[in-house]
Structure formats: structure tokens, C-alpha cells
Structure 1
Amino acid sequence: MKSHLYLMALISVLISCKSTQKTATEFVPTFSVSKKTTHKIPEGKDYTFGYLEVLENRNNPNGNRIKLPIYIFKSRSKNPKPDPILYTVGGPGYTSMRASKYMEYYKYLDDRDFILFEQRGTQYAKPSLDCPEWAKAVYQSNFPNFDPTKTDSLFQKAAKACNEQLRKKGIDLNYYTTNQIAADINDLVNVLEIEKYNLLTMSYSTKIGQVLIRDYPDKIRSVVMDSPLPLEVNYDEESVKNLLETITKLLSDCENDEKCNSSFPNIKNRFFKYLEEKTINPLQVEIKNPKNGKIETFYLKGEDLISVFSSAYTGDVPNIPFEIDRLLNNDLTSVKEQLSYLFQEPGKGVGIGMRLSVWCAEENPFNSLELIKEETNKYPELKGLSPAVYDNEICEIWSVNKESEIENKAVKSDIPVLLISGEYDELTPIKWAESMTNNLVNSYHLIFKGWKHGPTTNWSNQCAMELANKFFNNPNEKPNADCFEKIVSPEFKTE
């Protein structure tokens, strides 16, 4: 059964667009209902699905039009609150549409309608900026017989090929940026004639939230930023430092825990020395290729072996010291399991083009190349690991316009904001959210002990989602719940 939410507004917009006499230079964004959805939605859900049509380049009314899929899920409440929640995910380059299959688990629908918004250039948007060439390069570079001296040229060729095939389709890569996505959301809110709404963002999309607060604040009632990434932070300059600081925190907590320290004494120093040693003399690991049965030999450095932490999720946190100890004792069971995934066929590179456009327009231009070079060789445990998501040469090939300086400046606002952090999140560390509270004067910061990135999507414990929903219901006070009081430092596995 489809929801009638906003339908009168939609019908009036569509009728007015058809009936109004327009010149060739006018364009009005529209929302069109579609029976064909991106995913099969479970029975019993009340929703509307359709596409927002906007200009690729808002300065060219006669140019390309793009279509963004939108779900509007009706609240489970008989008397829903009037201000819906709009949710868009991180990346950049991830799809928001996958969440449509799991709406029964979203607490927000108990009180409000819930809108899923797909960012331009991502998987189900039209067009989607996919880069199969990049996915193939990742696949090739991970094989043990690949010559690492050819890594740069491999990815440069992939970026060039992807860039060329997207531009041949008539896509202007300059307009797939955070600023444009925020404008798309503002267009949707206006098309649906929403008077006030709440914004739910996570990781990269918290940047979208900050731009909306700055440029289109009037209709925003409140904002939740899960694992926030401040506009003013230069991610590429410090990602390696953040990784080391966060694992240092976790292993220090193990050493301060009597049981953990007794089982794994001095684990922090032993692990860092191990990473340093393997960076000089790589760990040799043999694994059977599941495709042909051939034994393949991998040589792993510190930057590879730290994945015992960096690839872990919140549910894995209690096991991390145990897994590190296994590695230190040459038990390679987990390492071989991770390596086995490298033999899977390359994907389609979904959303990679959008990710490159965002990064090369609004992150790379503000980087200090000297600092990145220094950071790459600064830490003996991870020597050679660049903190940059994309090398400068890749962005030169991608060749998009630099965003204005304001996109690298902190946003100031008195709109109510809830900042949510995981204690062991190396991607968007606690310190970033703490710094944002200085400029978001009506904000609150919750830190989830023992958790990693994206607390509101921790399905084994929905406490962060519960607190986010409490905040949407009362954004003028810091939310609290019994579940939050019960979250304490992890009990580390020792045997």
C-alpha cells in the first residue's frame, strides 16, 4: 500500500510544471512517483518511491538532467510528528537505497516519516558514476605476483580510462560534489513542500549536513551527525596518525585491564615492534588460490597487518587483542581468511567516479603535499603508507575544478545538533567531533565506549539509534537512555 504523504504536494507540483508556460531557459525540479523501485520492499510497508529530477549544472538550465531515487516511508504512528527525517549515508560513493529493505528495524518510524535520499553519482542515481576500471586495478594490485613498482601507473591508467568513459557519456564531473548534493536535498524539501525536517547523516554525509546548515538552514529543525567529518579537517594529512592513535588507545585500555594485561602483557609495544619489523622484512604467507588450487605467496608489511584492527567492526572489538596475540605467535588463521577474499572477482566500481569527483574537488586541493609526504614516512610501524585517499597524480588526471575556500572552513550554527562518536573510530576520531562543538553552539556529543565507526548502524545494539530518535523528539536537551548507561569499556577476550 502506498503512502498518501506529500502526494497532494507532488501532484500540484507536477501539474504546475506541465501547465506553466516556460521559456527555454527555465527549469523547475520535479518529483515523479515510480512503481518500479530499487529494491524489493517487505510486505506491509507504507511508502512512496520516485525520482527527483534536477539539473546536473544549475548554471546551465538547458544542460543535463539527473534523476535521484527517493523513498518516503510513512511513520508507524497513527499521529506522526509533522517534521520527517531525511537520511543519506556516507562514503563518498555509497548508496542510501539499500536501507529501504530494513525499515522495520528503524526506530525513527515510530514517530515520524522517514525519507531515504540517494546522492548524485551513486549506485541507483541516473547517471551512476561507476568505474569498473578502478575495481579491476584494485583486484590486480592485490595479487601476490603483482610488481608493486607498477602500482602508481596501474591506478593512473584506471583513473584516466574511467574519466574518459564518463566524459564520453556527456557527464560533467565538476558537478558531483557535496555542495551540489546539499542543493539537491534542498530542492527535494522544496518540491515536497516540507516546512520543517530533521537530518540524519553519517560519516561523509555529515559534510552534506554541514553545508545544508550553512547554506539552507531555514527548514532544518535538528541534525544528527554520526561519526562526523568536519569540513575544516584535511583528512588526507592525518589518517595514518589517527589510525595509530586509535589503536594505541585500544591497546592501552587492554594493558590497563588486569585480565587483558595478564593474558597479553606489553601487547602495545610488542605489536608496534612487530609491525616495524615486518615493514622491513615482510611476513611471508602462503595460501591456496581457490580458483586453480595453486599456492600463492603474499608478502605483508606493517600497513597490511594493521588490518587486524582497521578492518574490525564494533562487534569485533573485544577480540582485537586476542587476534593480535595470535598474529604475534605466528598463528595466521585470521590473516589467511582475510587474504582469501582477494581472489574474488572485481566489482563494477560502483560510485567510484562520484568519490573521485568529491575528493579531488574538495579534499585534495586543500592538502599540504609536503605534510602528506612527511606522514607517509614518519611512522616506522607503517612506513610507506600514504595518508591520502587518492594520490595527487590521480586527482590531476581526474581534472575537476577546485571548490571554493568556504568548503574547507568550519560551519557555525545554533541549530540543534547531536554528534555521535565511537571510542575506537580511527576514520572519524572523537577529537573531530569535540572540535565541532565549539562552532555548533547548540550541540551535544555522545561517545560510545568500545564502539567503532557508525554507532547508529550497530545492529547488535541499537542504543545509538534510540538516542538519535530521542534527540529528534526533543532536540533541546542531551538525550539519555538506560542502554547508554550500560555501555562500558569492552571485556576483552583472553582465551
Structure 2
Amino acid sequence: MNKPTSLYSRFFLLIAIGFVTLQGWAQQSNRSYTPKFEEAKKPVVKVPKGEDYTFGYLQVPENRQEPGGKWIKLPVYIFPSKNPQKAKDPVIYTVGGPGYTSMRAAQYIRAYQYREDRDFILFEQRGTQYAQPNLACPEWSAALAEIYGDGDSPINPDSILAEAALKCKKRLVAKEINLDTYRTTEIAADLRDLVLALGIDQYNLLTLSYSTKIAQVMLRDYPDGIRSVVMDSPLPLEVNYEEETLANLVELAGRLLDQCADDPECNAAHPQLKSRFFSFLKELEANPVSVPLPVDSAASRDTVTYQGGDILSLIANGSTEEMAQVPALIEQLLNGDNSFLEADAANQQWTTGPGNGMGMRISVWCAEEKPFIDRDALAAQAEKYPEAAGIDPEFIPKAVCDCWGVTPEDSHENKAVSSDIPVLLISGEYDIETPVKWAAAMQSNLSNSYHLVFKGWKHGPTTNWGQPCAMEAARAFFNDPSKIPNNPCFEEIGGINFKSN
């Protein structure tokens, strides 16, 4: 029996005990303990030769209610500005996930333009790869390999993932790790402690995807000293991510094909492409496409089955450059040419790995996202969007959160943050993980904010190394947060130039 790729987008869409209690932990941070920063001789990631830097560890209590108990260590790089007349307010950068490491950016430090004006600091979130402890879950990686690599027998993917999560939890708890303390409010408190430990009076925040939630908590709980904030691909606190998964997928495809219809050359080559494609996707709900795997494939199954949602996911997860080819690829599919799917099937490799930071990812999601999901709204997506059949909108299955057992956040952590601190919101027009509409809605609560939408671009515009326009905009904003950056490169970006073949 061949297994459909129904979970394809779940892992690639990427994506409190009570307000009084957890807020109390954070607000007591300066009363009951003193955070420490200690330099270390051996950095966790190699820095390019000749670059000046300081590496060390921020040390804070794992549980701020028990500062006399276990402490954790969070790696930090400090890269001094190249400018002898540098600004005194550094940029502090932490990345997304949740669960990804910020430390890998040290390898590419020469690409970050912010150092032309001020110091640049990389901060590792608790529970991620180079933090001590790292909430790694190799059991999770093994479970994914089992789900996707063996299609010979019917399985329940959620139960396999829940079993893996339970094994990981038992191992972490046996190490006396308190899973309840790995959440956004505590990471924000860590970041505030870093500022205190380094003696920084004023600073700027550069955040990406999930870490924009950290920035929002900082604006709400620790506004003192924040000069400006850049949120690249913002994820609002108030958004219930899983309730919008399928809508975001279908809307992105629809917007792209509407632009093709508005482009005379693209429309001539692919007339009525949107209606033809969406009809094709709906038909796949009952008659999915099966694509053979190469004979030398390591997987035990011999085919991969694609429904409409799987194809939408492939399109949505393509690079910025690949968006221009989408109409031509769709036309091939409609004409019975499955080479696009065959190439994807051949490239699917599911291997085991260390699962770095996965425990932190599960803790954050199960404490902050899952408690606020409307199960009826979640289920209604399948009926509302038949084009996306085969996609499970749950980023982390409920069964996983049930066994993980962290305390849900208070509803306060699911509400929009208001602030008058200068904020630059940066979006990619074709970002499926944090769509433009989310950032646009945030502006009503951020009274001193600006929003740049990069036409044709995807998730994380400031990390587009081939075209650093978004990075240039962020740098300009840090230099003058009183106005929207006026970058010539932004005006020159014309969106997608569709390719006919």
C-alpha cells in the first residue's frame, strides 16, 4: 500500500501557567539574581579568519522562580563595528524557527552590512543547537524517516510522532530539564538579561520569522532601551497559525496566477491558467497522481502519491527565482507531463539526524499556539479549500502536545502588542509562512511603524544574499528610524518576470 505525502507541508511551511505567574518570572529578573556574561576561548562556530569578535556565554536561571536552582548557558557573539566613529547602540540579532540556531550566522559575518555603523551581536535562544542544554530530539528525526521512508503498510503518522515526542520528553526530563521554561516569554527575558549583563543602554533588534514574536514580547514587557526594531517576515502574537495554513497556501497560488493573467505574455501562453489549475487540484482529491521512485531509491516504497495540497506545497516552497517558472510548470502538469513531480520524488530523502532544538520547538508550539486553536476552524479548512487536499494544517499534531504536557500560556500571549517604538516590518510578496497580510494588520497597533513588501520575494528578505536590498533597508532604518527607508534598489524591484518554458 503506497502512502500519500499528506504531511508534506507540515514540516516545511514552514511556521503559561498564567499571565501573573510567567510575567512575574520575567519582571523579577533584576531582583532575585544577576545575569552573567563570561567570555569563552572556544567559539561554537568558526568565524572567518581575520575577523575581530568576542565570544562568550550568557548565564541565567532556567527557572526564574528558582534562581538558586539550575542555570543555563546561551552562546553570544559580539562583532565590533568597522567604523571608528560607530553608533553606540548595537544591533542584536536572533533568528526564527522556533528551534533554529542563530550561531551559524557567524560564518557569514562579512555579509552583514550593519557592522559598517554599529556593533552586531548574535544571540542564541535557550534550548537551541548550541545552547546548554540543547533540547535535541533525535527520536523525532527517526520518526519522520519512518513515516516517509516506509510506505508498505498503513500507519498513523500522528501516533508515531507522539511516541517519538514522549521518548524525547522522558530523556530530557531525566536530565532535569524543565520543559515549561522553554517559551517566548522566557527567551525575551533572556535577551533582556543579555542587555543588562553587557551594560547596554540602548540597542536595536533585528528579528526574523518566529523571533519577531520575541521582539513583540520585548516591546511589551521590556521597552526601556529599545531604540528600533526590524521584523523580517513577522509572525504576530495574535495569529492562530494552523487555522490559516491552507488559506495561505491557496491564496499564494491564486495571487501568483492572477499576476500571470495580468501579464499579456504569460496569459497568452497560459490562458485561464488559474481556473484550469484549481479544477485540476480538486480532481486530485479523488484521483491523486502516483509518481514512481527511481529504482535506486533507498525508500522501501516504490511510488510517491501527490494530491492537490502536495503540489501547492511544492509551488509555495520554491525559491524566489523559481516563482517565475511556476506557470510553465503548471501547464506541463495539466498536459500530463509529470516530470516536475518525478524530480521532486527523486530528491526526497528522509534520514535520521540529531533533531537539534526540536524539544524547544515543541515546547513553544504546544504552550503558545496549540492552546488557542479552534478545532472546528481547523477542521473546516479541508472543506473550504478542496484544492489543498492531502495537507494536514497542523504544524505539530495535537497528539504530540498532549503527551509533551507543557503548561499553556495565558490568553494574554495571544493578543496583539501595541507600541510607539519605531518598527520596520519587512515582507516578501510570496511568503507562505508569514504572509504580507499579517504584517499589514500589525501596523494598526504599532503607531510608529513602516512596512516594505518586496515584490516577487519569499520568506526572509533580509537573508537574500544574492540581492541585499532588504538588508540595506534594515541598515538604513537602524541609522534613521524616524522614516521609511528610501532605497533605490527597492524601487527597482519589479516583481516576477514569468518564463514561458
Tell me the CA shift for residue 148 of structure 1. 4.9
Residues 28-107 of structure 1: pairs in structure 2 closer than 5 A: 28-107=34-113
2:37 counterpart letter in structure 1 = F
Match of 1:305 in 2: 311
Tell me the CA shift for residue 336 of structure 1. 2.6
User: In structure 2, the residue corresponding to 1:223 is in which secondary structure?
Assistant: strand
Report % sequence identity: 51
Match of 1:165 in 2: 171
2:126 counterpart letter in structure 1 = R
Q: More deviation in 201-210 or 422-431?
A: 422-431
Separation (CA, whole Å) in 1 of partners of 2:300 and 2:211 = 43
Separation (CA, whole Å) in 2 of partners of 1:288 and 1:144 = 15
Separation (CA, whole Å) in 2 of partners of 1:404 and 1:456 = 32
Tell me the CA shift for residue 315 of structure 1. 2.2
Unaligned runs of 5+ residues in structure 2 are 1-30
Q: Residues 202-252 of structure 1, C-alpha deviation per residue, up to 9 Å, x if partnerless?
A: 111000000000000001000000110111111111111111111110111
CA pair 147-304 structure 1, distance change in 2 beyond 3 A: farther
Q: Residues 455-489 of structure 1, C-alpha deviation per residue, up to 9 Å, x if partnerless?
A: 11111111000001000000001111110110112
Separation (CA, whole Å) in 2 of partners of 1:168 and 1:236 = 31
Structure with greater contact order relative to length (CA < 8 Å, sep ≥ 6): 2
User: Would you say the 8 A contact 2:307–2:390 is kept in 1?
Assistant: no
Tell me the CA shift for residue 270 of structure 1. 1.8
Match of 1:330 in 2: 336
Match of 2:193 in 1: 187
Structure 2 counterpart of 1:452, from 439, 458, 467: 458
Tell me the CA shift for residue 171 of structure 1. 0.7
Structure 1 counterpart of 2:471, from 460, 465, 472: 465
Residues 415-430 of structure 1: pairs in structure 2 closer than 5 A: 415-430=421-436
Separation (CA, whole Å) in 2 of partners of 1:79 and 1:454 = 30
Q: Residues 179-210 of structure 1, C-alpha deviation per residue, up to 9 Å, x if partnerless?
A: 00000000000000000000000111000000
Tell me the CA shift for residue 293 of structure 1. 9.6
User: In structure 1, the residue corresponding to 2:88 is in which secondary structure?
Assistant: coil
Separation (CA, whole Å) in 1 of partners of 2:78 and 2:424 = 23
User: In structure 2, the residue corresponding to 1:358 is in which secondary structure?
Assistant: helix
Structure 1 counterpart of 2:283, from 264, 277, 280: 277
Tell me the CA shift for residue 446 of structure 1. 0.6
User: In structure 2, the residue corresponding to 1:123 is in which secondary structure?
Assistant: coil
Separation (CA, whole Å) in 1 of partners of 2:419 and 2:469 = 27
Q: Residue 486 in 1 paired to residue 498 in 2? A: no
Equivalenced residue count is 471
User: In structure 1, the residue corresponding to 2:199 is in which secondary structure?
Assistant: coil
Separation (CA, whole Å) in 1 of partners of 2:300 and 2:410 = 52
Structure 1 counterpart of 2:222, from 198, 216, 222: 216
Tell me the CA shift for residue 384 of structure 1. 4.5
User: Would you say the 8 A contact 1:289–1:295 is kept in 2?
Assistant: no
Separation (CA, whole Å) in 2 of partners of 1:383 and 1:86 = 41
Tell me the CA shift for residue 42 of structure 1. 0.7
Match of 1:243 in 2: 249
Residues 349-360 of structure 1: pairs in structure 2 closer than 5 A: 349-360=355-366
User: In structure 2, the residue corresponding to 1:280 is in which secondary structure?
Assistant: coil
CA pair 332-352 structure 1, distance change in 2 beyond 3 A: same
Unaligned runs of 5+ residues in structure 1 are 1-24
1:167 counterpart letter in structure 2 = V
| TM-score, normalisation: structure 2 | 0.91
Separation (CA, whole Å) in 1 of partners of 2:297 and 2:322 = 29
Tell me the CA shift for residue 373 of structure 1. 1.3
User: Would you say the 8 A contact 1:286–1:295 is kept in 2?
Assistant: no
Structure 1 counterpart of 2:400, from 380, 389, 394: 394
Separation (CA, whole Å) in 1 of partners of 2:454 and 2:353 = 34
Separation (CA, whole Å) in 2 of partners of 1:220 and 1:333 = 51
User: Would you say the 8 A contact 2:324–2:497 is kept in 1?
Assistant: yes
Q: Residues 60-117 of structure 1, C-alpha deviation per residue, up to 9 Å, x if partnerless?
A: 1122211111000011112111000000001111111111011111111111110001
CA pair 426-360 structure 1, distance change in 2 beyond 3 A: same
Q: Residues 136-189 of structure 1, C-alpha deviation per residue, up to 9 Å, x if partnerless?
A: 111121136254542122112111111111111111110100000000000000
User: In structure 2, the residue corresponding to 1:190 is in which secondary structure?
Assistant: helix
